[in-house]
A and B are shown apart, each in its own frame.
Chain A
Amino acid sequence: MAALAPDAGVKPRRRLLGKHPIGLLFAGPYLIYWLLLFAYPLGFAVYMSFRDYFFAAPGAQVDRPFVGLENYIRLIGDDDVHRAALNVVIFIVINVPLTVALGLILATALNTAIPGRTFFRVSFYLPYVSASVAVVAVWLYLFNGSGLVSNLLGSLAPDPPFLINSAWAMPIIALFATWKQLGFYVLVYLAALQNIPGELYEAASVDGAGTIRKFWSVTVPGVRPATTLVVILATIVGANFFTEPYLLTGGGGPNGASISPVLLMYRQGIEQGNPGYAAAIGVTLAIIVMGLSLLNRFLLDEE
């Protein structure tokens, strides 16, 4: 019994602090960062969404009454929210498959010994590291009524032009975001491609597989975890698009055709002083994105 006594003292501590308490020290700074900058604002957003909230000066005596589900009920009947939700669907339907397909094809191409490989790698990555404001200006010049694309298309160009055409505004935004982010996803796929053992390709060659067969049967399954990551990240980014409608289509135009949930949150929460309602939109968006991410993971992750 005497030999057991020290153990009895250690166990509760170990249960509390783990086998290696120093690990807490290492994880601590990030935990504090996460609590302060993620968990607290998220919890506060949930709190705000149940109130008629507005931002006030410290010390101001203000009334922010509890309104229950009122903000959420308003959201269900708001035409702007419906349009924004539809736009997220349009965005994701175009952006996610295109990102996966182009990302994988370009990464595969860049992984082979082609001339000017470094140049192409840098070229694809450049839009990702460029400021959105600068590259949006380039796209404005490309797609406005007298822009390069419209001129090249001539009579085939849509009327009204792309960016003020309610049928085209969202697809152009989705294409822009795909192009802007592609460099990052190519990089993810490039890293994943390095992990596919060369022997698999050799074995496939011995079995008589051609380039396309090897791509489908070795590369695509080999990068599956990366594809899961790319789909989840592209979905999250897609649901949160803001800069594109803010700058490319003049604040969600034409006539609200490219409004996004985050742009609506900005308008309501920051411009119009309704942060309670903006928070309700944000919380709903976060729940939907989490649901979509779980669904993606369920569908794509084999393990």
Chain B
Amino acid sequence: MAAFRASDASRAPGTAGAAGTIVVRGLTRRFGPTVAVRPLAFELGPGGVTGLLGPNGSGKSTLLRMLLGLVPPDAGTASVDGVPLRGDGTAVRRRCPYLPGEVAVYGEMSGRAHLAWFLRGRERESRASAIGIATELGLPLERRVRGYSHGMKRLLLLAAALAPRARVRVLDEPTEGLDPSRRGQILGLLAREAKNGTTILLSSHHLGEVERVCDRVLFLRRGELLDEEQSRRLRRRAGRVVRVAWADPIDPAAAAGSLATRGAEDVRIEGGRATFVLPAGDPRRALAEILSARDLPAPTSLVYGEFSLHELYRALYGEEGV
């Protein structure tokens, strides 16, 4: 991955955002009667990794595709790396490499030829860079792509998305289908990129990796972006999430009632385990009362106050999309 040169900072006059930023103002998209993305507004960068989270169908991919001009928005404006989104977005895609969420490739091509195909329309050096990344990732570039596993195809797409010099990259589920070691390798690459000043917007279902690599998280639900304050409240709320396990299954109704009378919120009980949120006022006291309650058995394990995007996800969306 080569960093963008400072000399590339030429800008079209009158563009909305600065170099290395993503600026979205009121982007909206409908598919028939369904509103896929409601009017959205946010600014990212310059620099840093932003994670886009949301359950399936929440509009993540549509939003990313709109930013790249692959899906024309019904309303609103956007600019990427200082270039306003216009027409079919060719100017934006020239400045911002994109990793598609769908892993689809031309099986009849070799890995090397495919990289060259992906990088058509970009500077020539990016091909050498892509071959370097692909080799580092252990891809057999002389083999036809039809013989690649799902994860290898994803890595090939990633090599093409990470190779061009760019200040902004948009990656739709970059580690989907990769084994844990490869996932770690890719996250390391992204973290290094961000450290060098690149703005990365990625969507993911791997909540752990979002926690690990992202310094900002955007939550989408039914095409709507939760505002930062709501997001902060939810993060704080996630800090009060308690998970308790008992040795034997308990009566769910009785246990839920007992927990609720002691201030527990959003109680969910499955078998011998319960997840709930402590009240905001005095969570420690509520926890002490719950642990000493005579109508509940003594727990065998308890997890409290551990920040977890997974729990945040559940608090936001319930079981949906987890």
The judgment on whether A and B are partners is no
Residues of chain A touching chain B, judged by Cβ–Cβ distance below 8 Å, are none
